[in-house]
Every structure is written in C-alpha cells, then in structure tokens.
Amino acid sequence: VIWRRTGRPEEPSPPDLLQHLPVGVVLVDREDVVRTANATAERLRLVRDRQLAPIELRRLVRAVRRVGDLQVVEVELPNADESLPVRATGRPLPDRDVLLVVEDLTELRRVEQVRRDFVANVSHELKTPVGALILLAEAVREAAGDPKAVDHFVERMQAETRRLTKLVDDVISLSRLQTGVPPGVARLPVYALIDAAGQQVALAAEARDVRIDTNVPDSLAVTGREAELVVAVKNLLDNAVHYSPPGSTVRVTAERDGDNVRVTVADTGPGIAPIDQQRVFERFYRADPARARTSGGSGLGLAIVKHVVTNHGGSVSVDSALGEGSTFTIRLPAAEAPARVDA
Ligand code: ADP
C-alpha cells in the first residue's frame, strides 16, 4: 500500500483515493440504503436521499442479490438534458450488501463516433479519385486513335493516382500516430528537421515560384521521432507553398520560448477566416472545399501535424486574417543542451 510505504503526510489516505477514482463507487446495504458513495458517483447523480437514483441501477442491485454473482450492464441513464451512457458492475458482498462500480462511457462513445465518421469520410474521399480513374480509363479506350487525347487522359489518370496515393499514405500515417506511442528521447536539432522538410517541398516551391526563407539558430533542439517531426513541418510548408502567390516568400523561423521551441511557418496567401481557424486541424476539414478538390490535398495534412506535435507534448496553432496570409506555429518542449563532459 503506497501511502504506508512512503508515509508522507501529504499522501492521500485510502478514502481519498476512493473519492478520486474516475469511476463511481457505491455501497448499498441490504435495506437498499447507500452506505458509501464517492465523488464520481455524486457527480454522475447516482444517489438521491441515500438511495440509488436510477431505476436501472436499482434493478441491477436486485439482479445481483438474486443471482448471487457479478452482474454487468451497459445502460443509458436518463440525466438532466442528455442521457448518460454507463457500464455498471454489481458485486455481491456479505450480508446482502452490493458494491456498484459505474463507469462513464461518454468519452468512449465519442471516440467510437469519431472513428465511425473517419471511416465514412475515408470511403467518401476514396470514391472521387477511383470514380475519376474509371471514367478516364474508358476515355483512353475511346480515344485510342488519337495520341494527343490519349496523352491528356493518361496525364489526368496520373494526377488522380498521385492523389489516391497521398490519401492512402496520409490515412496510414494518421492511424499509426493515433496509437500514441511515447516519442522517445532522441535529440534532434531543429535546423535539421526544417532542412529535411524544406528539401521535400523544394520542387513544388520552385514550380510555383515561391521562395522559402529560413532563419533557424543551430543551438535549438527537441526530442522525439525524427520522421514524424519532419512530416509535421513538411505539411505546414506544403500548405504555405501551395497557398502562396507566385513570386512570394514563405518564412520559417525557430526560436526558444521559455521551455519550448517555437517554429513558425508564415505565408502571404489568402489567409483563413476566423470561423475556420480551429477546424482546419480536424480530419478532412477544408476551408474552401472547391479549391481543395482541384488541389489534390487529402484534407489530412494539418490533422497529422496536430497528432504529431500532441504526441510530442507540444501544440500547433494558426494566426491568420483573410487576405493577409497565415502563420502556423508549432510549440515543442525544448531538449536541454547535452551535459558538458569536462576533461
Ligand atoms: P489539405 O490537404 O486540404 O491541404 P490540410 O489539413 O493540410 O488539408 O488543410 C486543411 C485546410 O486548411 C485546407 O483545405 C485549407 O482550406 C486550409 N489551409 C491550410 N493551410 C493553409 C494556408 N497556409 N493558407 C490558407 N489556407 C490553409
């Protein structure tokens, strides 16, 4: 028992520990009077006038007594405005007492919903390029005698294939990131991450006549997984280049900000309206769907950035005004300088 072993006065006592469990715990005696209920049980409104409030839980208690064994139910408890999904476990105790453990499933249900939406979105997004490829293949066959037309359709097939590949790659990296493996301790110089990302967008930048200007001190470093952090910076650069007007400059800076390293990527593109600024980090959200459809973006780029930096203990935000460009900022915990080894 931890509190005995350490014996420090500020350690919580056993009843406090019970109070702070994230599940509701209720002890009901043989007369159906609630003997003990922890804070979570109160918050979930399981108890009123020393009785179990939800009829579903009273039924569970009776079932436990009848069967004389552990009983588990998943039910929606009617609550003030919306119902509360819970998993309730009842365990018989001596003297016909019953111990109830009630787990709030709201967050779990929300995650399940997000996952279902994601699958539906992916299927929908896959349909567009696949449908285009089917039509283009038919067009190629019909244009068989016309080499110029064939060339044109094949080029479009290649574009749709690239789009499909990007979507599939992004879906795969997103689902990998969601497992939330701790980022490890490799020390990564920030300039190297930005250089590597810059190289990956160099061709696209050249094609659009956009300059990438970086100002990154050598001394800054973060810890984590290099490949993921490079992808995060690359996705920001990709967007910045993509939305920049030809002939303009994308500026990348990095600096120390307290315990963090702050990396910013600024463009002079169309900007993002305030109502879209939080939502652009959601999967498949596009501020301008029509433009995105022609641009071949997967709609997952910023969601990937957000997952990477969150998994690394950091954050990402955007500062933008319509017509004035956008500045994306990544904050990551700074790696301390390696300890000096004196000879
Ligand atoms: P996409 O693959 O569509 O670019 P992202 O997740 O990278 O997906 O971006 C989501 C949306 O955010 C884009 O569709 C676009 O509307 C908006 N956006 C992202 N970066 C910028 C930027 N630098 N300037 C203007 N809009 C941007």
Task: Tell how far CA 39 is from the center of its chain.
Answer: 30
Ligand 1 centroid distance, CA of 240 (Å): 9
In this model, does residue 291 exceed pLDDT 60?
Answer: no
**3 state DSSP class of 291:** helix
Residue 38 half-sphere exposure toward CB, CA atoms < 13 A:
18
Amino acid at 143: A
Q: What is the mean pLDDT of residues 21-42?
A: 93
CB of 220 closer than 8 Å to CB of 261: yes
- Which residue from 243, 268, 283, 302 has its CB within 8 A of the most atoms of ligand 1, so it is best to mutate? 302
The single residue listed with the structure tokens 């159906």 is 32
Ligand 1 centroid distance, CA of 276 (Å): 10
Q: How confident is the model at residue 261 (pLDDT cuts 50, 70, 90)?
A: very high
pLDDT score recorded for residue 6:
43
Q: Is the CB of 59 under 6 A from ligand 1?
A: no
pLDDT score recorded for residue 4:
41
CB of 257 closer than 8 Å to CB of 216: no
- Which residue from 238, 272, 282, 284 has its CB within 8 A of the most atoms of ligand 1, so it is best to mutate? 272
Pairing of strands 249-257, 84-92: unpaired
Q: What is the mean pLDDT of residues 166-181?
A: 80
Residue 174 to residue 301: CA distance in whole angstroms: 9
Q: Is the CB of 296 under 6 A from ligand 1?
A: no
Element (H, E) at 139: helix 106-142
pLDDT score recorded for residue 5:
40
Residue 186 to residue 283: CA distance in whole angstroms: 29
Percentage of the residues of the chain whose pLDDT score is greater than 70: 90
Q: What is the mean pLDDT of residues 255-264?
A: 96
Q: How confident is the model at residue 216 (pLDDT cuts 50, 70, 90)?
A: very high
Q: What is the mean pLDDT of the chain?
A: 89
The single residue listed with the structure tokens 């006065």 is 9
Ligand 1 atom at minimal distance to the Cα of residue 289: 14
CB of 240 closer than 8 Å to CB of 250: yes
Q: Is the CB of 129 under 6 A from ligand 1?
A: no
Q: Is the CB of 297 under 6 A from ligand 1?
A: yes
Ligand 1 centroid distance, CA of 215 (Å): 23
Helix ranges (DSSP H) in 178-279: 190-207, 226-243, 274-277
70 vs 340, residue with greater confidence: 70
CB of 212 closer than 8 Å to CB of 237: yes
**3 state DSSP class of 133:** helix
Query: In angstroms, how far is the first alpha carbon of the chain from the final one?
Result: 46
Q: Is the CB of 286 under 6 A from ligand 1?
A: yes
Entry pTM: 0.71
Ligand 1 atom at minimal distance to the Cα of residue 240: 23
> Of 47-56, 258-267, 283-292, which gets the smallest average pLDDT?
283-292
In this model, does residue 128 exceed pLDDT 60?
Answer: yes
Q: How far is CA 6 from CA 1, 2, 13, 14, 17, in A?
A: 9, 6, 12, 14, 15
Q: What is the mean pLDDT of residues 302-307?
A: 94
